[in-house]
């Protein structure tokens, strides 16, 4: 038997001590039975528990699609649940995989596994394909002897994250298309329709006596048709590229932009709920897998690139070190609503934090679904009105002089 030192939270209080167990997984299991929320667990006299990731000799970039990773994990989980050995499963998946990038990854995993590496270590060598959440769940599966169960958790995790990403894309796609159409129609009219009116009003001797809206539209048409339009397009492209570069180099600019994104009308609420759902889902899965709370919070930062959320999670992690309760820590961070903190409080009091994080994830997934549905029903009429005002306003401005002449003659 080995001695393990632990720190954790029990009934809302910060505790620490030692426990005897055969291995780390058994120690975590014993503490969970005592309804202790683990914040740190390590073998006595061994300070170093969390090892740094090994640098891989190569990684794959965008050659592998998210859908391919999901299908691979689904098939892997199904075959493992059927009782097939890991190497046989990988051989079968290699044969079934058509696209070279994913096939090469499977080959590499199989080769590393045959060399004596653990499955988690094999997956860890591909950080751009399998993130820290996936790797840690595989570690937990190997340690507990329930790899098929944890592979299924990975599948559920990836499916939910992919669903959220897909819903956000779908919600933004329709308004983006309508906006693009409105811009293209406006440019077409400025370049082809407005010049016809310009010639007509010149022939009627009315060019110097036009209403202000009509004169403005004609000036815009002349600007777009001249080199000014090209310069404007180049300026817009350079501005977008420059802003992205500035975002990657200047932390303050990035943070300010992320704050704006979270406070945007309609869209900010959607982004916020999607982040809360993903963070709580990951925390629940990792906590259930026996991963230290501090490490779980650290890993949860990887599910979002929003620095406001990342900073909040970092503050919470530091607070856990100092012995504060999770409820108080989440309550301090404005990005997490009161409902989030209240549900965590229940989880701390009952010692079932992993289950509570799962409940929180379900709650915010449902909230996110409602937000997407509301956005879809709201955006359509807004964009139709926008197109009507843009195109209709332009046509009214061009016909205004004719209406004025008709009124004078009448």
Question: Would you say residue 48 lies in a domain?
Answer: no
* Interhelix angle 132-144/147-188, nearest 10 degrees: 170
Residues 215 and 270 in one domain: yes
pLDDT for the residue numbered 108: 92
Three-state DSSP class for residue 265: coil
Work out the number of other CB atoms within 10 angstroms of the CB of residue 4.
23
Choose one of 127, 159, 191: the last residue of a domain.
159
Residues 81 and 125 in one domain: yes
Query: Minimal CA–CA distance to 244: which of 233, 257, 232?
Result: 257
Residues 144 and 172 in one domain: no
User: Considering all CA atoms of the chain, what is the largest pairwise distance in Å, rounded to the nearest integer?
Assistant: 105
Residue 372 and residue 166 in contact, taking contact as beta carbons nearer than 8 Å: no
User: How many CA atoms, within 13 angstroms, populate the side-chain half-sphere of residue 355?
Assistant: 9
Residue 2 and residue 43 in contact, taking contact as beta carbons nearer than 8 Å: yes
Residues 244 and 227 in one domain: yes
Work out the number of other CB atoms within 10 angstroms of the CB of residue 308.
19
Q: Pairing mode, if any, of strands 13-21 and 37-43?
A: unpaired
Residues 168 and 257 in one domain: yes
Phi then psi for residue 20, to 5 deg, are: -90, 140
Residue 174 and residue 387 in contact, taking contact as beta carbons nearer than 8 Å: no
pLDDT for the residue numbered 311: 92
Look up the CATH number of the domain holding residue 185.
Answer: 1.20.81.30
Q: Which residue has the tokens 């817009």?
A: 236
pLDDT for the residue numbered 405: 59
CA 6/CA 37 separation, integer angstroms? 10
Question: Would you say residue 286 lies in a domain?
Answer: yes
CA 184/CA 174 separation, integer angstroms? 15
Three-state DSSP class for residue 247: helix
Residues 249 and 342 in one domain: yes
Residue stretches of the chain with pLDDT short of 50: 46-62, 407-410
pLDDT for the residue numbered 55: 38
DSSP states along 274-319: HHHHHHHHHHHHHHHTT--HHHHHHHHGGG---HHHHHHHHHHHHH
Question: Would you say residue 169 lies in a domain?
Answer: yes
Domain span at residue 28 reads: 2-43
Question: Would you say residue 57 lies in a domain?
Answer: no
Residues 299 and 386 in one domain: yes
**DSSP collapsed to 3 states, 174-230:** HHHHHHHHHHHHHHHHHHHHHHHHHHHHHHCCCHHHCCHHHHHHHHHHHHHHCHHHH
What pLDDT digit, counting tens, does each position of 86-128 carry? Answer: 888 899 998 888 888 899 999 999 999 888 888 889 998 998 8
- Chain mean position to CA 200: 54
For the chain, the straight-line distance linking the first and the last C-alpha, in angstroms and rounded, comes to 104
Residues 295 and 314 in one domain: yes
Three-state DSSP class for residue 2: strand
Q: Using CA of residue 10, residue 16, residue 20, residue 24, what is the dihedral sign?
A: positive
Residues 114 and 93 in one domain: yes
Question: Would you say residue 246 lies in a domain?
Answer: yes
- Domain total in the chain: 3
Question: Would you say residue 79 lies in a domain?
Answer: yes
Residues 35 and 91 in one domain: no
Question: Would you say residue 50 lies in a domain?
Answer: no
Residues 148 and 167 in one domain: no
Question: Would you say residue 277 lies in a domain?
Answer: yes
Choose one of 159, 181, 211: the last residue of a domain.
159
Residues 356 and 223 in one domain: yes
pLDDT for the residue numbered 238: 92
pTM of the entire structure? 0.67
């Amino acid at each position: 038997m080995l001695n393990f030192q632990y720190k954790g939270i029990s009934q809302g209080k910060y505790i620490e001590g030692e426990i005897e167990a055969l291995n780390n997984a058994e120690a975590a299991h014993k503490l969970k039975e005592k309804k202790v929320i683990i914040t740190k667990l390590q073998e006595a006299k061994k300070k170093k528990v969390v090892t740094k990731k090994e640098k891989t000799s190569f990684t794959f970039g965008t050659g592998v699609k998210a859908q391919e990773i999901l299908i691979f994990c689904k098939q892997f989980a199904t075959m493992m649940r059927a009782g097939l050995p890991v190497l046989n499963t990988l051989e079968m998946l290699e044969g079934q995989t058509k696209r070279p990038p994913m096939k090469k990854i499977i080959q590499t995993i199989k080769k590393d596994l045959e060399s004596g590496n653990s499955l988690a270590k094999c997956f860890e060598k591909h950080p751009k394909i399998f993130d820290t959440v996936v790797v840690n769940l595989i570690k937990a599966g190997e340690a507990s002897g329930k790899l098929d169960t944890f592979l299924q958790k990975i599948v559920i995790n990836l499916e939910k994250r992919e669903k959220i990403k897909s819903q956000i894309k779908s919600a933004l796609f329709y308004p983006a298309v309508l906006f693009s159409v409105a811009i293209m129609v406006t440019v077409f009219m400025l370049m082809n329709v407005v010049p016809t009116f310009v010639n007509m009003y010149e022939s009627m001797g009315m060019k110097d006596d036009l209403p202000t809206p009509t004169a403005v539209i004609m000036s815009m048409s002349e600007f777009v048709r001249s080199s000014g339009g090209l310069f404007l397009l180049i300026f817009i492209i350079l501005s977008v590229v420059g802003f992205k570069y500035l975002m990657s180099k200047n932390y303050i600019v990035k943070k300010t932009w992320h704050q704006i994104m979270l406070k945007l009308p309609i869209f900010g609420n959607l982004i916020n709920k999607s982040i809360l759902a993903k963070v709580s889902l990951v925390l629940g899965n990792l906590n259930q897998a026996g991963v230290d709370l501090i490490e779980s919070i650290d890993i949860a930062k990887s599910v979002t690139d929003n620095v406001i959320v990342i900073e909040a999670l970092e503050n919470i992690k530091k607070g856990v070190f100092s012995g504060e309760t999770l409820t108080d820590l989440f309550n301090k961070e404005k990005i997490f609503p009161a409902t989030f903190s209240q549900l965590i409080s229940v989880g701390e009091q009952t010692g079932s934090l992993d289950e509570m994080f799962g409940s929180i994830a379900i709650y915010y997934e449902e909230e996110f679904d409602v937000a997407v549905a509301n956005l879809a029903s709201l955006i359509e009429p807004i964009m139709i009105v926008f197109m009507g005002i843009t195109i209709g306003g332009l046509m009214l401005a061009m016909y205004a002089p004719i209406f004025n002449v008709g009124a004078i003659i009448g």
